[in-house]
Amino acid sequence: MDLHGRGQRLRILCGALVLLVLTMVLSLGIGFRAVPWSEAMAALWAPDPGNDLHLIVRVLRVPRTLLAVMAGAALGIAGAMMQAVTRNPLAEPGILGINAGAAVAVVLAIMVLGLTSMAQYVWFGFLGAGLAGVAVFTLGRAHETGTDPVRLVLAGAGIAVVLGAMTGIVILNAPLQEFDTFRNWSAGSVSDREAEIAVILAMVLLPAGLLALSLAGSLNILSLGQEMGQALGVRPGRVWGLTCIAVMLLAGGATAGAGPIGFVGLVAPHAARMVCGPDYRWILPVSGVFAAILLLLADILGRIVIAPDEVAAGIVAAILGGPFFILLVRRFRLARI
């Protein structure tokens, strides 16, 4: 269903934002200890240091909720951009090998340098994601005619396989303690994260998100085809380069902070496209909000299904996104660029 009209799209975006806020409030109250809505609001606006429920909300639930929202929004916007520039309905941030690059950098930081705090090895996740993205973009360039989306996708798949193998080799030879540290990160969990992580991600994801939104008009033109885009004054190589930078920062930041999370960046853009049509000026922000809601709901469900224990949000997101991925494979054929 393609709902046309600026007013309708604006109402959809506002409704999604309201739903996101309600989901965030729900996230503050659900967990190993239930926190009533009134207590959760009091913890935010009138905290009492002697109230253990207020401490749970402010120390544990708020950073967790903010991290899920930021990581989900970043993955949703990055996924929408990747589907736009590759013109491939199955594209998502992992297609550039960003998850694999962040994973191999984090595992080396933990195993070789002995880092145990996420505030320390999150920077290695950024570095690994960035280097992997640069390598894929370099290998995926078609120097005679500009950047080739198909070649970029193939380069990303190859880099991801190689880096995944390297990660596996290091893990198999790692001591048990370091393995547990990496396992907690690699499951794609937003629990037990320091507030500092949310601050670090905000500093990176906010400018990256603004860069992505500034490219929306160019993505609309390029969706008509590279030749048509050039005829309308768009420089495809420049748009590709800026898009890759935005995707590296968005998906790299989300992966560094929350671990590798799949399907969120695949599902949210399709849902946004169904209700907003083909205009990327609307698809990008709506994808971000939808993805934030999806990851936050996955985290909430993970706290409930085997309470008092938890399932990582990345695992729940994969379970929810798997059937949707199968549906896409059956419905679409890969676009030939």
Q: What is d(CA 75, CA 216) in angstroms, rounded to the nearest whole number?
A: 16
Q: What is the pLDDT of residues 168-227, one digit of tens each?
A: 887 777 777 767 767 777 778 888 777 788 888 888 889 999 999 999 988 888 777 666
Tens of pLDDT, residue by residue over 75-105, are: 999 999 988 887 777 777 777 788 888 888 8
Output the six-digit token pair for 227.
């030749």
β-bridge mates for residue 146, sequence order: 142
Look up residue 183 and give its amino acid: R
- Residue 74: pLDDT band with limits 50, 70, 90: very high
Contacts of 280 (CB under 8 A, 6+ apart): 80, 84, 216, 217, 219, 220, 223
CA distance 138 to 295: 31
**Structure confidence at residue 253 (pLDDT):** 85
| The residue type at 208 | A
Contact 284, 77 (CB under 8 A): yes
Q: Is the pLDDT of residue 50 over 90?
A: no
Higher model confidence: residue 334 or residue 108?
A: 108
The domain tally of the chain equals: 1
Distances from the Cα of 38 to the Cα of 34, 244, 322, angstroms: 12, 44, 36
- Answer yes or no: is pLDDT of 143 > 60: no
In whole angstroms, what is the distance from residue 30 CA to residue 9 CA?
A: 31
Residue 1 inside a domain? The answer is no
**Domain of 123, in residue numbers:** 6-331
Is residue 334's pLDDT more than 50?
no
- Answer yes or no: is 155 within a domain: yes
CATH number of the domain within which 266 lies: 1.10.3470.10
Does some domain include residue 258? yes
Residue 145 has pLDDT above 70, yes or no: no
Q: Would you say residue 39 lies in a domain?
A: yes
| pLDDT given at position 238 | 82
In three-state secondary structure terms, 311 is coil
CA–CA separation, 302 vs 207, rounded Å?
A: 30
User: With pLDDT > 70 as the criterion, what percentage of the chain qualifies?
Assistant: 88
337 belongs to a structural domain: no
In a domain, 87, yes or no: yes
pLDDT of 290 reads 95
Q: Does residue 251 or residue 91 have the better pLDDT?
A: 251
**336 domain residue, yes or no:** no
| Residue 329 pLDDT | 61
pLDDT in tens, 3-38: 457 788 889 999 999 999 999 999 998 888 888 888
What digits encode the pLDDT tens for the residues 262-320? 888 888 998 898 888 888 999 999 999 999 999 999 999 998 888 778 888 888 988 88
Tokens coding 131: 């280097």
In a domain, 318, yes or no: yes
Q: Where are the beta strands (DSSP E) in the chain?
A: 141-142, 146-147
pLDDT of residue 201: 85
pTM for this structure? 0.87
State whether residue 146 is helix, strand or coil: strand
